[in-house]
Structure 1
Amino acid sequence: MTIWIDIAALDEIPQRGARTVRTAQGCVAVFRTFDDRVFALDDRCPHKGGPLSDGIVHGHAVTCPLHAWVFSLETGMAQGADAGSVATYPARVEAGRVLIDAERLMGRRVA
């Protein structure tokens, strides 16, 4: 059985924007897309450590603000010629609240 952590109201995260969740292992970025889907990924680009939560959200992807790497919000994989990925965490919206899988969030490792 999955235990979910309530992060925020969906309306507290701007469309095409993000909020961060701080954990003992580092930050997780929670993104809201134009179609009100939510995704959670590590908030640190593997290339130069840029904060993905400060990136530009387009479709179901985010562009790192430092060096323009584009990451799929669904898979965490970098798009294009450069290889790389960030961890993703199950997230959902229920009754207008954003929830993240507690076990996966607390079990994450520092890169």
Structure 2
Amino acid sequence: MKFQEVHPLVAEADTSADRWLARGVTALKALLVLMVFVGILFGFRVPLEEQNAVRRHVDALREDGVVLKAERDALLRQLSWIETDIGYLEVEARDRFNLAKSGEFVIRFQD
């Protein structure tokens, strides 16, 4: 059996100090958890911003790609017309270079 000597003043001081220490340890644990949480948030914030910037850049490039594909298709159609349709060449010669066949009069109307 263990016997312990109890002194009223010392016992109160010990329990009061123990309570303060326990509260301090709890507060430090909470502070540590909060610091870890903030560290994680800031750790992921920068890569997330970079990822969003890259995603915006990729979206802009895709939109540019769609526009360029449409231009390419138009140019391929025009090339096909140039290679196969003689009437197209006549229309382009009249419109772009103001050319006309001999004995032909071209009348232009302006808007």
| TM-score past 0.5 threshold | no
Structure possessing the higher relative contact order (Cα contacts under 8 Å, 6 or more residues apart) = 1
Larger Rg: 2
Higher fraction of helix = 2
TM, length-normalised to structure 2: 0.22
